[in-house]
Amino acid sequence: MRIGITGTGSYVPSKVVKNEEFEQHAFLNQDGSPFEQDNPVIIEKFKAITGISERRYAQGDQNASDLAFLAAQKALEDAALNKEQLDYIIVAHNFGDVSQGQSQSDMLPSLAARVKHLLRIKNPKCVAYDMLFGCPGWIEGVIQAQAFIKSGMAQHCMVIGAETLSRIVDPYDRDAMIYADGAGATIVSKQEGTGGILGHASASYAHDEAYFLYYGKSYAPKAGDTKYIKMYGRKIYEFAVSHVPGAMKECLDASGIPITDVKKILIHQANEKMDEAIVKRFYKSYGLAMPKDIMPMSIGTLGNSSVATIPTLYDRLGKGKLPGHQVEPGDVVIFASVGAGMNINAIVYRV
């Protein structure tokens, strides 16, 4: 029995925000003091590290659940699946719906329930729930979908990653330039044949690492009590490079697939330098150099949309929207991610 992705869809917001639009920001250090460098220098260094030159923001009347719904419609159409046949809708996110100009997160009802409502699904046996697992949430949702199908509890599951991170960034924090909005959706189903999900690995490190990403106050001393997404970037980089390659190796070895058969690695689009370091260390663990063009990237123009990055990347890869990259039926790809918690996971997948 094959359990695999039978349909994909993504929604990339139309609003483009280029790096130059941050030149007038008053970036501050964590203690509230100004940086010594001018903003053009800060932005140039930022691009050199992250690879980001622009990102996408949702329109003012769109929330994360709206983006998820738009991606879900495309995935259902791609899978040629009747929406009433869905057994589960799993929506991965981190902050729920945060309306434009607001600071309060809205998760009542769940985003999955909102997507089901917007899709106008009548079937009460279609169970809708949210996944809070940091940036690896979409991968973890796919792992859960596989378990439901493998156990006989389901035949078709929809797994969505959606986020509007632009609504919860501190304008005084230079890390605000990293984050973006978007949604990616997949249909996971039981099929005839072989392939699909061949192996997976997940782990949570919360002893010393739980608050590497956290909710904190603005760096501006008199900005009030509103909280924003904050991170210890150096600690996250070191954690990711130390732990994600091992998770990738664990599930690849368990799958029985030789590393030379891996066609592409779709890694969470968090930071171009970090992602490259992770993949290089992964190949080094097998005594190999990182192959050219193994790692498609979208962060340069789409930014970091958290749980939406990998399903969006896979959708665009499968539909020929990533020049120089393609996958064919039978190709082996690895999905891998790291994020708040700190959580890591990976999947070995045969297209």
pLDDT digits (tens, 9 = 90+) for 155-164: 999 999 999 9
pLDDT digits (tens, 9 = 90+) for 56-111: 999 999 999 999 999 999 999 999 999 999 999 999 999 999 998 887 899 999 99
Q: Are residues 225 and 149 in the same domain?
A: no
Q: pTM of the entire structure?
A: 0.94
Q: Are residues 127 and 98 in the same domain?
A: yes
Q: Are residues 181 and 213 in the same domain?
A: no
Sign of CA dihedral 258, 263, 265, 266: negative
Q: Are residues 277 and 150 in the same domain?
A: no
CA 157 to chain centre: 18
Contacts of 142-146 spanning 24+ positions with Cβ under 8 A: 142/5, 142/186, 142/188, 142/197, 142/335, 142/347, 143/197, 143/200, 143/202, 143/345, 143/347, 144/90, 145/88, 145/90, 145/188, 146/3, 146/188, 146/197, 146/200
pLDDT digits (tens, 9 = 90+) for 254-299: 999 999 999 999 999 989 999 999 999 999 999 999 999 999 999 9
Domain with 109 in it: 2-193
Q: Are residues 172 and 241 in the same domain?
A: no
> Given this model, what pLDDT does residue 89 score?
98
CA distance 276 to 292: 11
> Given this model, what pLDDT does residue 106 score?
92
Q: Are residues 183 and 202 in the same domain?
A: no
Look at residues 160, 193, 226 and tell me which one is the last residue of a structural domain. 193
Look at residues 132, 164, 193 and tell me which one is the last residue of a structural domain. 193
Q: Are residues 22 and 116 in the same domain?
A: yes
Confidence at 24, pLDDT banded by 50, 70, 90: confident
Q: Are residues 308 and 210 in the same domain?
A: yes
Q: Are residues 48 and 162 in the same domain?
A: yes
Q: Are residues 96 and 203 in the same domain?
A: no
> Given this model, what pLDDT does residue 255 score?
93
Confidence at 16, pLDDT banded by 50, 70, 90: very high
Task: Residue 233: give its domain's CATH number.
Answer: 3.40.47.10
CA distance 241 to 148: 31
Q: Are residues 161 and 277 in the same domain?
A: no
Look at residues 178, 193, 208 and tell me which one is the last residue of a structural domain. 193
Domains in the chain, number: 2
Q: Are residues 288 and 304 in the same domain?
A: yes
